[in-house]
Structure 1
């Protein structure tokens, strides 16, 4: 009998391979990162990864505070212009009169099409309900009390177009989620739910969804991003907490909704940054561009922040999180296992000169590896000369720091200074119970450079258009440039400099006020990351040829 029990116990332990990740401050990250963060068995890993990717596309938090009714808004947008309510809304919000479909609105907000069924690898996603949706990725439909509401998911800010491929886990170069909240709040503040119901034909349940969103938005404070491509979500969280009592739980405190606490920094200064790529998280033990989140599961933390920024009741949120720990595991598995696209997926491998890339590897190790880590290349393995070039160019192992560093290299400080305002999140019981801790830092994280070729423009605030500009002393970097979508690799991407084409190479269609990035504006500075790195005492240590070789190496990461 004892033998049978021991066998059953052994079998049970063999199949139960889940580990509990250590999210505590200062925990060392193993060499090569934590791709399988829960140490799932192979089958479980694939299942959790698949489920997590679906949750990233279709926002899973059913109690979310911002859930306008889907069908009435869709009908309103797609109806003819004879609807006086639609005309009234167009008068409140500029630049919306050209929308003919709900997808037009989503496209304007920066959402992208779902990957095709023929896409594979990092360019493929599992489809919700096993078929490719017609809507753009990042729209989430949630049913509540007999009505369908819409919201936006992780994919709205963390997916991007890359030469015709939608990449989940990549920085959205042109997110407009903040703009949606700003416009929604301005409209809902003056919209009576009963009038909305009359002109749209909404059901009573749909009218109630609108009323809930309108009420919750009273507890949300918003900031307009200083430039297209930047995001103000973290400022939105901190300023929204100022509309609640100090512990954050008196969610519907009328006094603070009307008279929010002042913020000495964020009320007057920007703290913008671009959304981060997912594939770097596996190598880190602190998160955000400044490393200010020093403990706690970053996915769990992000859900809390999302909902504070949507006016949710934190008591209801805690109940949801307690009941849906498997969803958090799904999302965490998917995010930590995310992989970067390769440049050879879009350009012939022959465009990389192997000999020059090897020289660039030596330059990188001498000047960059101290902060950004080391990268084992297939071309250094015995017998690699017998491999196809595309295989020789691959990175076989990432050797980033076991403790994520924070370094002040003189880059624009506004983003990290703004994190001081967010330290009030440490006072929430939900933060304390889940070991979430924020500490404002004196610099920024020098990130792992996996997929750096696809991450233009550079710096946390997008102030550097390409790698040539990044490797130029700050005083000589472009003061302004135009951004644009990566559609045509021949015209929308400077291969030699890796990033946006400048000057007379800039596509004419990009030259609009919205796509103009001016580094002279507060929070958009392009200073730093030069002296003591590739500039010594004001003199460049890299020759033009050195820079070309270094860029060629970086393109293989």
Structure 2
């Protein structure tokens, strides 16, 4: 009896050690993955510290005069605010989360947090969509500063003259950037001569990375199976040949572990619990079929909604051709060797309804970032045509951005950064139409669902 009990205790102890070891290894891999993104330059450098410190000289008046009279620290913060950069909370020197900065050479190299490392209502949050990122404006002013300083131009400086980087701050043309990089590679990622292709340029709102652990496929149309190799696609600059991808594959297994470890922040404001519970029941009746259920036994269906049913802007879906998706399916990126990985979907019919974990923390909404608050998602006829975020603080009543609504973008405004802070839903690829399902709910039902969404 004693021997049997001792054996059970030993077995239980060994199992506990094994589980602890696996958890520890997972935590170590996630920590390494974060280190890869923040400390390892995987692209060519875009500019150096001297250029960044002097970008204020390319700003319009009166901002330039204000910067001239400011201290270096104040100018740095002004630049961070203008371009949508945030400080790394884990680094005492205040390195930007969005760039790898070499302290010896001073080189700045973009990393994945440029789009996927923003702030949640003013709090720097790795994995949150960077809804402030001003890549086009920043690149134009970096290029102008290099001319002033007599510095050579980078690939980004020149490439942005051909492929626009984003027409509205907080959104980017990253999908087309990836398509352009992929067009000059064969299936084994060797560089090949390829004719100039015509791409359908369109802006996208980056999804939050804290959804990654739930989704078996990636991208809004869900065409690509999730895998560590697929995460490497945006490092396809000409300087990175096939050997680069083989050498860094283990690093991206760690990046995969890091993304898988992320979870959304908790809503820290007051919640009307009875109203939220009412909203939960309504959500399960009207929304869960596509967006899933939440809580201890929650399930995510990964459902692709046909375009003619969802009715949201079609440009993102049609911009990627079946030929382009087929090329990806045959490439090294899709040949991960993972027996659990699905097959590339070369002809998706619509968009995948995303998980809604932390949805309160990731405005704006829809794949193109056209809807500023959850209230507007629930009120399709009330969505503003032209709007602009006016504060870092949350609109706690409507849950999302505090905004100004105007008739049109002020084209006479001399500061391009201000013009690009306005979102005009009449522009190509920026429609806020569709997802009219909330129209079946009464106003009181919508209030209850909105309260429930805060709890996810």
Pairwise same-fold verdict (TM > 0.5): yes
1:480 equivalenced with 2:386 (yes/no): yes
Q: CA RMSD in A?
A: 3.8
The answer to whether structure 1 residue 290 and structure 2 residue 221 are counterparts is yes
Deviation at 1:236, TM superposition (A): 1.4
1:230 aligns with 171
1:302 to 231, 236, 241: 231
Kept after mapping to 1: 8 A contact 2:173/2:202: yes
What per-residue deviation string (whole Å, max 9, x for no partner) do you get for residues 407-444 of structure 1?
Answer: 43010111111122742642774335437846252211
SS of the residue corresponding to residue 449 of structure 1 reads coil
Q: Is the 8 A contact 2:84 2:133 kept in 1?
A: yes
SS in 1 for 2:444: helix
Paired residue for 2:409? none
CA distance in 2, matches of 1:455, 1:218: 29
Q: Which residue of 2 aligns with 1:123?
A: none
Q: Which residue of 1 aligns with 2:211?
A: 280
Match of 1:499 among 377, 400, 403: 400
In structure 2, the CA distance between the partners of 1:467 and 1:58, relative to structure 1 (3 Å rule), is same
Going from structure 1 to structure 2, the CA distance change for 1:240 and 1:321 (only over 3 Å counts) comes to closer
Residue in structure 2 matching 1:139, options 80, 96, 99: 99
- CA distance in 2 between counterparts of 1:219 and 1:477 reads 31
Q: 2:275 is matched with which residue?
A: 356
Who is 2:265 aligned against?
A: 341
Please say if 1:399 is aligned against 2:299. yes
Aligned-pair distance for 1:40?
6.8
Inter-partner Cα distance in structure 1 for 2:249 and 2:133: 28
Closer, same or farther in 2 for the Cα pair 1:425/1:59, shift >3 Å? Answer: farther
Whole-Å separation in 1 of the counterparts to 2:208 and 2:239? 29
Q: Deviations over 1:293-338 (max 9, x none)?
A: 2x251x432322x223xx33342xx323322333212211111110
Whole-angstrom CA distance in 1 between matches of 2:424 and 2:187:
39
Q: CA deviation at 1:182?
A: 5.7
Q: Provide the residue aligned with 1:524 in structure 2.
A: 430
CA distance in 1, matches of 2:98, 2:391: 18
The Cα of 1:451 is off from its aligned counterpart by: 0.4
Classify the secondary structure of the residue corresponding to 1:54. Answer: helix
2:371 alignment partner in structure 1: 464
Q: Distance in 2 between matches of 1:398 and 1:360?
A: 16
Relative distance call for 1:136 and 1:246 in structure 2 (3 A) is: closer
Q: Report deviation, 1:226.
A: 2.9
Distance 1:501 1:70, change over 3 A: closer
Q: Is the 8 A contact 2:390 2:403 kept in 1?
A: no
What CA deviation, in whole Å up to 9, does each residue of 1:489-546 have, x standing for no partner? xxx32222212345699xxxxx95332222111111111111xx334xxxxx311111
Q: 1:512 to 1:182 in 2, by over 3 A?
A: closer
Question: For residues 155 and 216 of structure 1, what CA distance do their matches in structure 2 show?
Answer: 20
Q: Normalized against structure 1, the TM-score is what?
A: 0.65
Q: Offset of 1:133 from its aligned partner?
A: 2.5
Look up the SS of the partner of 1:434 in the other structure: coil
C-alpha displacement at 1:262, in angstroms? 2.9
Gaps of 5+ in 1: 1-9, 19-38, 79-86, 116-126, 197-209, 377-395, 487-491, 506-510, 536-540
Between stretches 176-185 and 332-341, larger displacement belongs to 176-185
> Could you tell me how far apart the structure 2 residues matched to 1:430 and 1:526 are?
36
How many residues are aligned here? 419
Q: Does 1:416 align with 2:317?
A: yes
**Number of the residue aligned with 1:108:** 82
Query: Which residue of the other structure, out of 393, 417, 438, is the alignment partner of 1:534?
Result: 438
Work out which of the two has the higher radius of gyration on C-alpha atoms and give 1 or 2.
1
| Cα distance in 2, alignment partners of residues 439 and 45 from structure 1 | 32
Are residue 169 (structure 1) and residue 127 (structure 2) matched?
yes
For the residues of structure 2 that align with 1:142 and 1:480, how far apart are their CA atoms? 40
Question: Aligned equivalents of 2:384 and 2:258: distance in 1?
Answer: 37
Matched, 1:553 2:452: yes
The one of 349, 373, 389 equivalent to 1:442 is 349
Equivalences for residues 80-119 of structure 1 within 5 A: 90=58, 98=67, 101=75, 104-115=78-89
Contact 1:285 1:404 in 2 (8 A): no
Does the alignment pair 1:67 with 2:45? yes
Aligned-pair CA distance for 1:108 = 2.7
Find the aligned partners of 1:165 and 1:430 in 2 and give their Cα distance.
37
1:170-209 equivalences in 2 (<5 Å):
170-181=128-139, 196=151
Give the alignment's TM-score, normalised by structure 2.
0.79
Please give the per-residue CA displacement for 1:101-123, whole angstroms capped at 9, x wherever unaligned: 556444432111222xxxxxxxx
Distance across 1 between alignment mates of 2:16 and 2:93: 35
Distance 1:550 1:214 in 2: 47
Among 306, 312, 327, the alignment partner of 2:238 is: 312
